[in-house]
């Protein structure tokens, strides 16, 4: 946090000079209380999750018959689940998996979607037609249905988190590609692109150096929204039993315990922590996204 | 318009063929024989299995198998469920009314909520109530349906005992009686609320923004100048203009309802198509799984087409390209 405060003091001194667009955006974002609180929450959750092995000592995999379904106490903060595993510990480990799946899918989807969208938008013509038909084709697959089917295909052969990430990403990039294409299409009409092309810049350079930086703000906002959506997808699939393998804790898997009416009715401490953590995490990411969108929009007043 | 519609419908055909190829290859790459439903699993005699495989055509080249499957499929023969031992078409026909009932009820709930909230917020923008509606909508957009569903069951079924938490009807009741239909409505209410309330946000915000925009237009000023009562201006003049763009949402609703139905039916153990789909995956009931996957893909394609066509009706400029 110390660095962040330092940053604002520096930008305040430079106010007279007129700020760079990024500095303006950063200042707007730092003033957005909701976004800052969300960012703080998200960072806390991430740090706690990724340091889970150092914070907690309880074993998450061992079934402990002696301490089954205990109510919350000073020893087990959120109680234990039906197999006697500490809910708090599982929550932290679950966060690792859920956030990891979310981030990996987002990175893959954004990278691939941007690549396809940029190529289609920049080259136009036959390249555009082919790539966009392919994108339409991908977009026509109902994501949830096909992830479930693909998971059944890989069942037993290749399982686990990497396959889940790959499957979600392969089916999920269509929307980003369309968005980036439309942004590139309108951006490339500008004179500076014509200038760059006429002095002989290669297409790769025009796209990387001139076009992408100018659509970056859209991509960043889209990335935060995708991140939230991917966490929803992962935990939804895990809840249905088609996501992360059951033995790996994830927020969705923990929530899946509530599919037993007995747990749902009588042991709320098992499913309320993952449910609330999920809701607050998703809300935080959305608030951060809105904050970034607001900050990067030169027309917004704040 | 007719030309545009025809072009869109014809455009669907190659897409459907491609999807059918993908679905077929997925089924082929699954563990076990996808079309071996007729083979008696208790008879392990290799010669018998080989005979049955030959009879079922599983030794034919892949493209022949695909051709047979797709031509049967086009004629409405979806094969036989390996688990329920009945034609897939019948099985789906049995479950379909439940899902349709859930979908329609949730759409009605969405419309009622969205209209009440959207019209109020549009009429009194930037007030506390408008902000509250905006906040609730934001929550509805962010909270996943399974979490809302789990909390709904916990509070309304277990704590308050208002609604049943599973099934589609009280099985002790006789089919056709008044209580039977009442019980169905009672069972569908909670899942439909969860599915419907979460879809409200986009409608409400669209209606609100459109009403605010319309209320600054000239025809509204004219109406005001004539001394038309404010209520009439909002409920008649503005609403009529703001509803038209809303119909384009209908196409996307079909898409949302599919994925919504799968998750909601799983939470509430509601015996519909979504539940059947998950069961068919768990039980490796390939004919059912393939038919439903094709059906869902077709519905998505169909929903997108409906959305495009409705856009074309609402905004004629779109038809040109």
> Nearest-CA residue of chain B relative to A254?
B147
- Per the listing, tokens 């991509």 go with A219
Across all residues in chain B, what is the average pLDDT? Answer: 81
Q: Model confidence over A21-79: pLDDT tens digits?
A: 788 888 888 888 888 899 999 998 888 888 877 776 666 666 666 666 666 666 666 66
Instruction: Check A145 against B259: CB less than 8 A apart.
Output: yes
B38 contacts B80 by C-beta, under 8 angstroms: yes
Q: Which among A194-198, B15-19, B51-55, B240-244 has the top mean pLDDT? A: A194-198
Interface test with chain B among A140, A171, A273, by most B beta carbons within 10 Å: A140
Nearest CA to CA, how far is B157 from chain A (Å)?
9
pLDDT of residue A226 exceeding 80, the answer is: yes
A86 pLDDT above the threshold of 80 = no
What pLDDT score does A62 carry? Answer: 62
Q: Does B150 touch chain A (CB under 8 A)?
A: yes
What residues of chain B lie within 8 A of the CB of A268, using their CB? 154
Confidence of residue A2 (pLDDT cuts 50, 70, 90): very low
Burial class (CB in 10 A: 0-12, 13-18, 19+), A12: exposed
| CATH number of this structure's domain A21-56+76-296 | 1.10.3720.10
Whose structure tokens read 């869109």? B8
Q: What is the pLDDT of residue A243?
A: 81
Instruction: Write the Ramachandran bin of B104: left for phi over 0, alpha for psi from -120 to 50, otherwise beta.
Output: alpha
Quote the minimal CA–CA distance from A156 to chain B in Å. 9
Residue B281, chain A, CB below 8 Å: the answer is yes
The full DSSP string for B9-50 is HHHHHHHHHHHHHHHHHHHHTSSS-TTGGGS-TT---HHHHH
Indicate if the pLDDT at residue B40 is higher than 70: no
pLDDT for position A159 = 64
Average pLDDT over residues B215-220: 88
Computed over every residue of chain A, the mean pLDDT equals: 82
Contact list, B251 vs chain A (CB under 8 Å): none
CA A183 to chain centre: 22
Percent of the residues in chain A that have a pLDDT greater than 70, as a whole number: 82
Q: How far is CA B19 from CA A34, A279, B14, B167, B256, in A?
A: 44, 35, 9, 33, 19
pLDDT tens by residue, A265-300: 777 787 888 888 899 999 999 899 888 888 887 776
pLDDT recorded at residue B318: 64
Question: Which residue ranges form the domains of chain B, and what is each CATH number?
Answer: 95-318 (1.10.3720.10)
Higher-confidence residue of B218 and A90: namely: B218
Among A149, A228, A275, select the one facing B150 at the smallest CB separation. A275
Evaluate if residue B174 carries a pLDDT over 70: no
Task: Answer whether A224's CB lies under 8 Å from A285's CB.
Answer: yes
Query: Chain B closest CA to A209's CA: distance in Å?
Result: 32
**Which residues does chain A have within 8 Å of residue B278's beta carbon, measured at their own beta carbons?**
148, 240
Check if the beta carbon of residue B156 is closer than 8 Å to that of residue B224: no
Residue A301's pLDDT is what?
59
Q: CA A68 from chain center: how many Å?
A: 34
Write the ipTM: 0.81
Task: Look at A3-7, A225-229, B13-17, B150-154 and tell me which has the smallest mean pLDDT.
Answer: A3-7
For residue A219, the model assigns a pLDDT of 92
Closest CA of chain B from A236, distance in Å: 7
Residue B29 at interface with chain A, using a CB cutoff of 8 Å:
yes
Q: What are phi and psi of A232, to 5 degrees?
A: -65, -45
Q: Do B142 and A282 touch (CB under 8 A)?
A: yes
Which of B142, B258, B278 is closest, CB to CB, to A283?
A: B142
- Reported as a single tens digit per residue, the pLDDT across B83-92 is 777 888 888 8
- How many angstroms separate the most distant Cα atoms in chain A? 76
pTM above 0.90, yes or no: no
Per-residue pLDDT tens for B256-314? 777 788 888 888 888 888 888 888 888 888 888 888 888 888 888 888 888 888 877 77
Whether residues B153 and A152 touch (CB distance < 8 A) is answered with: no
- pLDDT of A1 reads 43
Q: How confident is the model at residue A104 (pLDDT cuts 50, 70, 90)?
A: very high
Q: Which residues in chain B have Cβ-Cβ distances shorter than 8 Å to A102?
A: none
Average the pLDDT over each of A172-176, A201-205, B53-57, B89-93 and give the range with the smallest value: B53-57
pLDDT at position A285 is: 92
């Amino acid at each position: 946090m110390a660095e962040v405060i330092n940053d604002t003091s520096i930008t305040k001194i430079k106010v007279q000079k007129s700020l760079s667009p990024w500095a303006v955006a950063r200042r707007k974002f730092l003033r957005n209380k909701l976004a800052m609180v969300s960012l703080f929450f998200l960072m806390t959750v991430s740090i706690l999750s990724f340091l889970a092995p150092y914070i907690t000592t309880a074993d998450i995999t061992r079934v402990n018959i002696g301490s089954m379904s205990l109510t919350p106490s000073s020893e087990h903060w959120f109680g234990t689940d039906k197999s006697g595993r500490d809910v708090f510990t599982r929550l932290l480990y679950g966060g690792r998996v859920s956030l990891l799946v979310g981030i990996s899918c987002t990175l893959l989807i954004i990278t691939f979607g941007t690549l396809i969208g940029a190529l289609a938008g920049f080259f136009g013509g036959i390249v555009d037609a082919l790539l966009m038909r392919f994108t339409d084709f991908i977009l026509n697959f109902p994501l949830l249905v096909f992830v479930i089917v693909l998971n059944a295909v890989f069942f037993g052969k290749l399982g686990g988190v990497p396959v889940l990430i790959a499957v979600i990403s392969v089916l999920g990039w269509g929307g980003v590609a369309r968005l980036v294409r439309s942004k590139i299409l309108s951006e490339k009409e500008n004179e500076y692109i014509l200038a760059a092309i006429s002095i002989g810049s290669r297409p790769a350079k025009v796209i990387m150096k001139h076009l992408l930086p100018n659509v970056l703000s859209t991509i960043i906002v889209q990335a935060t929204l995708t991140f939230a959506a991917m966490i929803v997808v992962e935990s939804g699939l895990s809840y249905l039993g088609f996501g992360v393998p059951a033995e790996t804790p994830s927020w969705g898997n923990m929530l899946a315990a509530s599919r037993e009416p007995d747990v749902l009715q009588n042991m709320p401490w098992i499913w309320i922590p993952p449910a609330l953590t999920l809701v607050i995490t998703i809300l935080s990411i959305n608030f951060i996204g809105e904050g970034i969108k607001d900050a990067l929009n030169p027309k917004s007043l704040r | 318009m007719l030309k545009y519609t025809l072009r869109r419908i014809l455009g669907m055909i190659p897409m459907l063929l491609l999807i059918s190829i993908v679905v077929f290859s997925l089924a082929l790459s699954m563990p076990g024989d996808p079309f071996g439903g007729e083979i008696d699993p208790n008879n392990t005699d290799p010669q018998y299995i080989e005979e049955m495989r030959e009879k079922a055509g599983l030794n034919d080249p892949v493209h022949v198998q695909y051709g047979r499957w797709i031509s049967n499929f086009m004629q409405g023969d979806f094969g036989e469920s390996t688990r329920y031992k009945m034609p897939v078409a019948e099985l789906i026909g049995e479950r379909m009314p439940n899902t349709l009932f859930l979908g329609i009820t949730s759409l009605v709930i969405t419309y009622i909520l969205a209209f009440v909230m959207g019209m109020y917020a549009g009429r009194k923008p930037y007030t506390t109530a408008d902000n509250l509606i905006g906040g609730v909508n934001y929550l509805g957009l962010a909270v996943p349906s399974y979490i809302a569903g789990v909390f709904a069951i916990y509070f309304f079924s277990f704590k308050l005992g208002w609604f049943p938490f599973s099934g589609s009807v009280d099985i002790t009741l006789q089919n056709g009686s008044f209580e039977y239909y009442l019980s169905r409505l009672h069972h569908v209410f909670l899942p439909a609320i969860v599915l419907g309330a979460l879809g409200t946000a986009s409608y409400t915000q669209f209606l609100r923004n459109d009403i605010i925009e319309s209320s600054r237009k000239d025809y509204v000023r004219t109406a005001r100048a004539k001394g038309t009562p404010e209520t009439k201006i909002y409920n008649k003049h503005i609403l009529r203009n703001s509803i038209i763009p809303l119909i384009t949402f209908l196409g996307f609703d079909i898409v949302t309802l599919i994925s919504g139905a799968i998750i909601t039916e799983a939470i509430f153990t509601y015996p519909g198509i979504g539940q059947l789909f998950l069961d068919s995956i768990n039980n490796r009931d390939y004919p059912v799984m393939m038919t439903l996957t094709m059906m869902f893909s077709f519905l998505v394609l169909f929903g997108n087409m409906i959305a495009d066509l409705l856009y074309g009706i609402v905004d004629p400029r779109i038809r040109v390209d």
